[in-house]
Amino acid sequence: MSAGSAGVERAAPPGLDGRMAEPYEDVEVTENPERTRFEARIGDALAGVLVYADDEPGTRTLLHTVVGEEYGGHGVGGALASRTLADARERGLRIVPVCTFVQAWLERHPEHADLVA
């Protein structure tokens, strides 16, 4: 994996038929507040990140999601989005989804629409 601005490469799309490949079952997502991002790891490997900004009190802007090419299409981005939104809900934050991946994920998961500022 070559390093991009967030430390991982852009994700490859799912299979040609549009379906997601088998999801990884061992994705661990944790927050790295020093780098203002959530990180997805599979074992010791950094598989993806979701970068955010807390510019206004009570609001978190979700800027960019990047998944390593070798992990694309296996649910890593979804795990990042899900954990990031769960964290926002736990903290009572509203979100501003600038990231196009998160925007698309929210369309598929309307149960989280109440978090959008």
pLDDT tens for the chain, 117 residues long, are: 333 444 443 443 444 344 455 666 789 999 999 999 999 999 999 999 999 999 899 999 999 999 999 999 889 999 999 999 999 999 999 999 999 999 999 999 999 999 999
Residues 101 and 13: their CA atoms lie apart, in Å, by 11
Does domain 27-115 fall under CATH 3.40.630.30? My reply is yes
Q: Cα(first)–Cα(last) distance of the chain, in Å?
A: 35
